[in-house]
């Protein structure tokens, strides 16, 4: 049995919950997860689509806001902000006791803005000002258009969760965007925080599919290895960049590490162990955000050991072998980023349609 408190205390990894429902806030379920060792929470448009569409816990607030004359989209953001504020209050003691390292709750800007730098900046600034909490992370996609927005928000002293990262190259650009933003700030940097969310299982699914298409013995032998290898090499980059002279100058001014966060860590292939993307990516100064079922599985039968940098040479060999078969991991990352942006847009649009139908039913 794996203990989440030990995961943080002995191995330096913060377990976060990748889910949020209003019932969990009201029933004490979220507080129970905190008691078990959860140290933060992430959300996204898909999570809110499922939570709001599948529950009647939002009906009273929804009905009241509609009757007051708010648009469906305005109501959506009110529902989201109520949930986020409730979660922020529950996680606040973690934030305070960890001196601002953990206890964060993440909320994403409108996913339709992922390719629009200026609109992302405006939306992130407005959302941060409206919720106004020291343990809030605004999630900005790590798209090419998102990079200047990340730098701008950091330069304004706002804490950012950079999401939808699928390549080591883009991760390097995100680290640079973070440090550039910090360098634009006058004075102490200790109140600014950031994580960089590296998506794991989606890479595995895409690469495994391509390995299946090749169908050779060597290709099939690489299945289930790419995502972990890429995460491990992202951690190697993290260690290098956050020991550089550039970083040490920022650290002297109080800057916090931009920790790598492992996201999309539930296995999609039932043939793989359900905790493989936790067990194999454990190490200091990292975060793993897990759906509740994966968290429960890890507590039940996960393995506690420092693994994220235990076999970096092997990780290099895996990626070299994959690319040697003609699989372009840069092209894979571009495809997954595009699909991720579109998936969040679809979830957002579907939820607005559902809410519109609900609003119309109230006026009949």
Active site residues: 139
Tell me how far apart the alpha carbons of residues 23 and 120 are, in angstroms, rounded to a whole number.
30
Tell me how far the alpha carbon of residue 243 is from its chain's centroid: 24
Q: CA 268, 271, 273, 278 torsion: positive or negative?
A: negative
Tell me how far apart the alpha carbons of residues 80 and 68 are, in angstroms, rounded to a whole number.
18
H/E stretch holding 287 reads strand 286-290
Please state, as a whole number, how many other Cβ atoms lie within 10 Å of the Cβ of residue 328. 12
3-state helix, strand, coil in the chain (%, to 5): 60, 10, 30
Please state, as a whole number, how many other Cβ atoms lie within 10 Å of the Cβ of residue 356. 14
Cβ–Cβ < 8 Å for 225, 316: no
In the sheet with 286-290, reading across from the earlier edge strand, the strands are 13-17, 286-290, 258-263, 194-199, 160-165, 136-141, 105-108
Q: Which two tokens stand for residue 234?
A: 């992202």
């Amino acid at each position: 049995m794996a203990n989440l408190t030990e995961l943080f205390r002995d191995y330096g990894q913060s377990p976060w919950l990748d889910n949020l429902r209003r019932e969990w806030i009201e029933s004490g379920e979220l507080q129970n997860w905190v008691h078990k060792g959860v140290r933060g929470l992430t959300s996204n448009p898909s999570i809110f689509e499922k939570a709001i569409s599948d529950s009647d816990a939002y009906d009273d607030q929804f009905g009241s806001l509609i009757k007051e004359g708010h648009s469906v989209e305005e109501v959506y953001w009110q529902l989201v902000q109520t949930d986020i504020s409730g979660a922020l209050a529950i996680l606040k003691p973690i934030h305070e006791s960890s001196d601002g390292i953990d206890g964060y709750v993440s909320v994403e800007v409108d996913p339709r803005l992922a390719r629009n730098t200026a609109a992302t900046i405006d939306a992130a600034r407005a959302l941060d000002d409206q919720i106004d909490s020291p343990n809030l992370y605004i999630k900005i996609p790590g798209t090419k258009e998102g990079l200047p927005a990340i730098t701008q928000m950091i330069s304004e002293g706002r804490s950012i969760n950079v999401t939808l990262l699928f390549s080591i190259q883009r991760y390097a650009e995100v680290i640079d965007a973070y440090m550039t933003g910090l360098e634009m700030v006058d004075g102490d940097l200790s109140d600014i925080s950031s994580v960089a969310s590296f998506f794991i299982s989606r890479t595995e699914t895409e690469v495994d599919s391509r390995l299946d298409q090749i169908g050779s013995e060597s290709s099939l032998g690489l299945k289930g290895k790419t995502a972990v290898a890429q995460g491990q090499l992202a951690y190697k980059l993290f260690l290098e960049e956050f020991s550089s002279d550039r970083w040490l100058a920022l650290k002297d001014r109080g800057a916090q590490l931009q920790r790598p966060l492992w996201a999309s860590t539930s296995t999609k292939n039932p043939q793989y162990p359900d905790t493989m993307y936790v067990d194999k990516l454990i190490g200091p100064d990292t975060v793993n955000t897990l759906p509740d079922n994966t968290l429960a599985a890890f507590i039940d039968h996960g393995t506690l050991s420092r693994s994220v940098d235990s076999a970096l040479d092997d990780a290099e060999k895996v990626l070299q072998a994959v690319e040697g078969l003609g699989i372009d991991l840069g092209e894979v990352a571009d495809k997954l980023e595009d699909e991720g942006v579109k998936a969040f847009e679809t979830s957002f649009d579907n939820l607005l349609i559902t809410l519109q139908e609900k609003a119309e039913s109230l006026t009949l």
